[in-house]
Structure 1
Amino acid sequence: MGDIVKSRQGKTASKGGVYGQFESLLAKADIEINGSRSWDLQLHDKRFIPRLLTQGNLALGEAYMAGYWDARRLDEFFFRILRHGVDREISPRQVIVDALRARLFNLQSLSRAFQVAQRHYDLGNDIYEAMLDSRLTYTCGYWKTAANLEQAQIDKLDLVCKKMQLRPGMKVLDIGCGWGSFMGYAAEHYGVECVGVTVSQEQADWAKQQYAGLPLEFRLQDYREVDGQFDRVISLGMFEHVGRKNHRQFMEVARRCLKDNGLLLLHTIGKNRRRSTPDAWIDRYIFPNGDLPSVGQIGDAADNLFVTEDLHNFGADYDKTLMAWHRNFELAWPEKLSAQFDTPFYRMWRYYLLSCAGAFRARDIQLWQWVFSPWGELGGHRRIS
């Protein structure tokens, strides 16, 4: 592995070879191996390093799950990695494989639609009840004036209602309704009726029980099978599962279900580059078949179907949301969750929450709310934020 030199902390480290490449890449982000700062990488086992240079974040994440390395502040570690573009200096074979898969296959086909629920959303409601707000709102909060997670989620739900100009008696379709937080809030505070679709049995069962008595219908159904006519269509945090080969079909379904004088709100995480590939670790362990859209891809999908009335980016708020979820997860782990999940799961979930927080902090990924109308609102759409 080359010559042995002393690091700044007086510990031995290999100079040259793959270890040296790894050390040099980290240095570009001001990260040291076995350094004393909270974002420095503490190396326990260097066997994963050669694999890192061929599999990128897949190898890095699996090595963290196995306990081969640590950082006291994973969020700050990833903020520095992404802010300095270190991830783009590695061109692992895994990226090429993933790019070909995304190009050649429809990884979000109807036959695969329920896989993400089986892997992620149906883990059991205990973990989400411990981590999220009281309504189980599993999307970015709106922190403009909020001081805590509960208020940030209320403010986000109310923001959506106001952007949609909801009025009593309206019928609303929620594509990817999750545990029904928007539908419950909109029915209680704006007097609307809602139909929600989800691919998660756990979500549908919880929502039906939680909101019994309200004019809400929850369907275990893929979005492509939705029918009916609605005054408003909303989708909060589901478009990330649609996939580039299906973006147009999603918009066609939304247009088919939306009355001519209606509005569509699309709330989605997005990427800065059109030509990118899904993260291999996130795909394998957290959200199988996920595919973040770009502004251009969403624009292409809406072409000649909708007028873009408004585009609102509050991606920096997802950093705060994820850090709040992480705090709740850590607090709940010893007494509520550790009996159900093992240590690799604990490390996997921390890696998920904190690496994503770092990515939003670095502005590597975004959170957009789009407002669309079929023909354009006469006089323009009043911006609410």
Structure 2
Amino acid sequence: MLFPAVLKSIVRTGSLRLIDGAGRINEYGNGTPPYCTVRLSARHLDYTLALNPELSIGEAYMDGLLTVEEGTLFDLLEIAARNYSNFEQVAWFSLLSRTTRRLKQHNPIGRARHNVAHHYDLSDQLYDLFLDKDRQYSCAYFTSKDDNLDTAQENKKRHIAAKLLLERPRLKILDLGSGWGGLGLYLAEETGADVTGVTLSVKQHQVAEARAAAAGLADRLRFHLRDYREESGQYDRVVSVGMFEHVGKKNYDEFFAKLGELLATDGVALLHSIGYADAPAPINPFIRKYIFPGADLPSLSEVFAAADRSGLIVTDVEILRLHYAETLRHWRERFIANWPRVAALYDERFCRMWEFYLVLCEIGFRFRSMMVFQMQLAKRADTIPLTRDYMVNWERANAPTAHRRIRTVE
């Protein structure tokens, strides 16, 4: 059987027991944790799982054909991650990796709208079941191991704001990929700035507009349903959180050229994105097919090169290492705790698909090369202070106090 034979040459760390499609028991690894027992309920999986495991293992789990009988899905994917380098010793895996590494996603406006709707226009109830109260769907910032998810997401907004140099009054701020409006609300309320957000999600746009009106901020906080490439004018500050992953590798030059067009001469931009800490590579095929069609993750080498070609100056970069792993852990635990309610909205297959997505991403940040970077950019080198003290000072001065409540999506 092909898949059991492949596992024998790959799984050297951890302890995996596989019950194949014929009911035979196969054991792999060195007897150390994590421990996991997996059952395949169809004989054809003994072959199909070997052809493209990065896609087909997730599909088999989603379809209920691969079940975890001992341990957890997290244990299974941790074993896979810890042995990932051994995959390159298998000839067709190495060929597949080299071939897909050259793929670059093209993302024209029409396709971008469709891709965003696939994920972000799902039921609002779904997101309420696992996100924080402000419905922040990006990496939180944990200043303490005791931070809960709501606190960590408030920390994230404050941390980003500190890098935007917001002391000047009446700033015009553009939020590219504004989601449900939480960051725009924070910037408008905390700094008095005039904020514009753009999103491609119909449902997110509706919620964000309603929140701006409910907060009494409609005169200086508005959200548009449009592609960032359709935006015009100039802004003192431009911020983008969790959108660059959807730009597509072929569009990086276009993105930074547009960023330069929108940014004032003395302006500051902040880009917050998931990326790879090592060589450029395509996004996981299961994530691209079922969760985020059209998405691509950049390496820092790709981002620096595109920013350089645009004429923008990279003035600061911070790597958030395990912050997203912790964020995903909170999301995963909340999602599983609300499994029956998610199944009532969709079905069991959807639940398994999203569990696989959340676990796979967390594994990527804990054991593989995924990370989050925050890149500050400007047009002039003298726009930014000589030291980073201004960031720390702003965060301390704007730390939460007892009278400030965490904002909630109503």
With structure 2 as the length reference, what TM-score do the two structures score?
Answer: 0.83
Query: 1:376 — aligned with what?
Result: 381
Distance in 1, matches of 2:46 and 2:323, equals 33
Contact map agreement 2:101 2:280 (CA 8 A) in 1: no
Query: 2:201 — aligned with what?
Result: 200
Contact map agreement 2:280 2:302 (CA 8 A) in 1: no
Q: Secondary structure at the match of 2:237?
A: strand
Query: 1:75 — aligned with what?
Result: 74
Correspondence for 1:55 among 52, 55, 64: 52
* More displaced stretch, 267-276 vs 130-139: 267-276
Q: Secondary structure at the match of 1:339?
A: helix
Q: Secondary structure at the match of 1:263?
A: strand
Alignment map for 1:330-345 (pairs within 5 Å)? 330-334=336-340, 336-345=341-350
Correspondence for 1:323 among 323, 326, 329: 329
Post-superposition offset of 1:98: 4.3
What is the one-letter code of the residue matched to 1:155? N
Distance in 2, matches of 1:75 and 1:139, equals 21
Post-superposition offset of 1:331: 2.0
Post-superposition offset of 1:53: 2.2
Distance in 2, matches of 1:329 and 1:87, equals 32
* More displaced stretch, 150-159 vs 276-285: 276-285
Query: 1:125 — aligned with what?
Result: 124
* More displaced stretch, 212-221 vs 375-384: 375-384
Distance in 2, matches of 1:94 and 1:211, equals 47
Distance in 1, matches of 2:260 and 2:80, equals 40
Query: 2:236 — aligned with what?
Result: 231
Contact map agreement 1:55 1:95 (CA 8 A) in 2: no
Query: 1:264 — aligned with what?
Result: 269
Residues 1:20 and 2:5 are matched in the alignment: yes
What is the one-letter code of the residue matched to 1:154? E
Change in CA separation of 1:74 and 1:344 when aligned onto 2, cut-off 3 Å = same
Which runs of 5 or more structure 1 residues have no equivalent in the other structure?
2-16
What is the one-letter code of the residue matched to 1:201? V
Query: 1:11 — aligned with what?
Result: none
Post-superposition offset of 1:55: 1.6
Change in CA separation of 1:83 and 1:263 when aligned onto 2, cut-off 3 Å = farther
Contact map agreement 1:41 1:69 (CA 8 A) in 2: no
What is the one-letter code of the residue matched to 1:22? L
Query: 2:160 — aligned with what?
Result: 160
Distance in 1, matches of 2:37 and 2:212, equals 46
* More displaced stretch, 240-249 vs 148-157: 240-249
Correspondence for 1:356 among 361, 364, 367: 361
What is the one-letter code of the residue matched to 1:74? L
Correspondence for 1:299 among 301, 304, 313: 304
Distance in 2, matches of 1:39 and 1:259, equals 55
What is the one-letter code of the residue matched to 2:277? N
- The alignment yields a C-alpha RMSD, in angstroms, of 2.2
Post-superposition offset of 1:86: 4.2
Distance in 1, matches of 2:379 and 2:86, equals 40
Distance in 2, matches of 1:178 and 1:381, equals 32
Query: 2:402 — aligned with what?
Result: none
* More displaced stretch, 110-119 vs 22-31: 22-31
Change in CA separation of 1:206 and 1:295 when aligned onto 2, cut-off 3 Å = same
Query: 1:4 — aligned with what?
Result: none
Distance in 2, matches of 1:64 and 1:41, equals 13
Query: 2:180 — aligned with what?
Result: 179
Q: Secondary structure at the match of 1:177?
A: coil
Distance in 2, matches of 1:63 and 1:202, equals 31
Post-superposition offset of 1:40: 1.2
Q: Deviations over 1:21-69 (max 9, x none)?
A: 2244233454343689665142132532321222221101001112222
Q: Secondary structure at the match of 1:33?
A: strand
Which runs of 5 or more structure 2 residues have no equivalent in the other structure?
20-26, 393-410
Query: 2:18 — aligned with what?
Result: 33
Post-superposition offset of 1:246: 0.6
Contact map agreement 1:201 1:220 (CA 8 A) in 2: yes
Post-superposition offset of 1:191: 1.4
What is the one-letter code of the residue matched to 2:367? A
What is the one-letter code of the residue matched to 1:118? A
Q: Deviations over 1:68-91 (max 9, x none)?
A: 223443334323322332474354
The size of the alignment, in residue pairs, is: 366
Query: 1:43 — aligned with what?
Result: 39
Change in CA separation of 1:359 and 1:39 when aligned onto 2, cut-off 3 Å = farther
Contact map agreement 1:39 1:74 (CA 8 A) in 2: no
